[in-house]
Amino acid sequence: MRTKSYLLFTALCMLLVSGCKKFIDVNNDPNNPLTVQEALILSPVELNLASSLSGGALSPGPGMGAMLVNHYMQNIALNQPVPNHGTYWIFNVDLDDTWRNIYVTSLNNLKVMNDQATANGNFNYAGIAKILSAFCLGIATDYWGDIPYTEAFNGSNNLQPAYDSQEKIYKTIQQLLDDGIADINKNAVIKPGKDDYFYKGNMDKWKRLAYTLKARYYIHLTKAPGYTALAQAELVLTALQNGMLDNSDDMKMVYPGGAGEESPWYVNTLPVSTLVLSSALVDTLVMRNDPRLPYLVAKAKQTGLYNGRPIGSINISGSLNVYSLPGEAIGAAGSPIYVFNYSEALFLKAEATLIKSGFAAAGPVYQEAIRSHMTKLGVADAAINSYLSSRGTLTADNALQRIMEEKKIANFLSIENFNDWRRTGFPRLTKVPNALSDIPRRMLYPQVELTSNPQGVQSARITDRVWWDAP
């Protein structure tokens, strides 16, 4: 494991210590202050969100949730005997660190940051804390459904907080985003600088991100009980009027690429993990003659061919060099992690337009979404136009499928793809050979919760649906 993992681990430990200050408040030691400046909380929280929660770093461990999602979505494969994670061999304890990462490392420290920033009048930091809290809550509830929030974060006053329904959590997410926007609109003087890895204190970009996140969480509820697709689509389109404007609004983490500073997917696919890209992912790009292939997928070192590993295969290769790894756009030591990108905003708009106005109206937005992603990667205009001539036309029969298939490529290895598949059924997936169950539709509740805070909903199986995932 490269030094990057240890640097991230150190950052997480610092956050854990600061986040648990309520439990160790004995004497005020001026050499070891218990109050940490907002700027010192923001940086490691952002690094954690990008590296572990989005990029799957430190897996097994905090990044396990993101890694499992990519197994479920058949993007990656292990060169290991079956059963393994790729064939849905999952235990409750596997999710312990992801749960702690979201609740202790992320949400608890964001609460500290929000409370402190609000008290200090640093409303830009408070706004960011609320936006990132909404983001982390969204990850948690989409993994598990019902989760604790209203009674959480009270320290020893309540060690067994009740779980909120997923519907209530979704309303909380929208309220946090609204409140974050309102905080930013207070135009406080103090803004983040270099401590803000994502936007360097550009509060306009933070507001546009918040509105685009609102659109994401609105679209998730198109099939939720008591909600209608049309009403949610109208909310999506309204939110996006204030959302991301272009690729420069991407929420991304840039990694320098030197020793100890490598991108998560570079570290994730080092030989010790035996992790490679799946044949399902690689073959799809090859079959479509997708010009993004050389950017997203690296040729196998041994053969010079694009070759993924079949998931669930009982044949173990003696060399990982016969398989493809992520390409330069995401798999190099200095590649960025896109936590949320502008292309997704356009695909959200395309889907909402399809629901409200039909496939003909959605077509131009869909094409713009594909073009935005290809342009970012550096694909030539001629290649873009050629691809759009074969994949750019929507019909009544193919519109939703095409939008979701192309969105998955633009959100390459993103955990959001799992949410899109569950609510739309696209891209079409079938369970892999030697699977132990049908394709999972959720995460198991972690063993740490089953032991310390037992709740009835924790009996959910990985094939059970969360509330919004209506048949």
DSSP per-residue codes, 58-121: STTTTTHHHHHHHHHTT-EEESSPSSSGGGT---GGGGHHHHHIIIIIIIIHHHHHHHHHHHHT
Average pLDDT over every residue of 404-426: 98
pLDDT at residue 170 tops 60 = yes
Average pLDDT over every residue of 254-277: 96
pLDDT in the model for residue 319: 96
pLDDT in the model for residue 27: 42
pLDDT at residue 145 tops 90 = yes
Per residue, the 3-state secondary structure of 19-62, as one string, reads HCHHHCCCCCCCCCCCCCCHHHHHHHHHHHHHHHHHCCCCCCCC
The architecture CATH gives domain 3-24+36-257+337-453? Alpha Horseshoe (1.25)
Average pLDDT over every residue of 35-60: 92
Cα separation of 76 and 269, whole Å? 10
pTM above 0.75, yes or no: yes
- Find residue 147's DSSP bridge partners: 164
Cα separation of 195 and 309, whole Å? 40
Measure CA 93 to chain center: 21
**pLDDT tens track for 321-360:** 999 999 999 999 999 999 999 999 999 999 999 999 999 9
**pLDDT tens track for 356-376:** 999 999 999 999 999 999 999
Q: By the 8 A CB rule, do 353 and 361 touch? A: yes
**Least confident among 9-18, 189-198, 318-327, 395-404:** 9-18
* 3-class secondary-structure state, position 340: strand
pLDDT at residue 101 tops 70 = yes
How far from 448 is each of 54, 202, 458, CA to CA, in Å? 22, 38, 11
Cα separation of 40 and 429, whole Å? 43
Cα separation of 139 and 55, whole Å? 13
pLDDT in the model for residue 212: 99
- pLDDT cut 70: percent of the chain above it: 93
Cα separation of 459 and 455, whole Å? 8
Average pLDDT over every residue of 298-306: 98
Cα separation of 419 and 442, whole Å? 9
Helix (H) or strand (E) segment spanning residue 455: none
The four Cα atoms 181, 8, 246, 193 give a dihedral, to 10 degrees, of: 60
pLDDT at residue 220 tops 70 = yes
User: Model confidence at 157, in pLDDT bands (50, 70, 90)?
Assistant: confident
Average pLDDT over every residue of 124-132: 98
User: Model confidence at 34, in pLDDT bands (50, 70, 90)?
Assistant: low
| Every domain of the chain and the residues it spans | 3-24+36-257+337-453
What rounded mean pLDDT belongs to the chain?
93
User: Model confidence at 3, in pLDDT bands (50, 70, 90)?
Assistant: very low
**pLDDT tens track for 173-219:** 999 999 999 999 999 999 999 999 999 999 999 999 999 999 999 99
* 3-class secondary-structure state, position 251: strand
Cα separation of 57 and 432, whole Å? 25
Q: How many CB atoms lie within 10 A of CB 82?
A: 18
pLDDT in the model for residue 187: 98
pLDDT at residue 426 tops 60 = yes
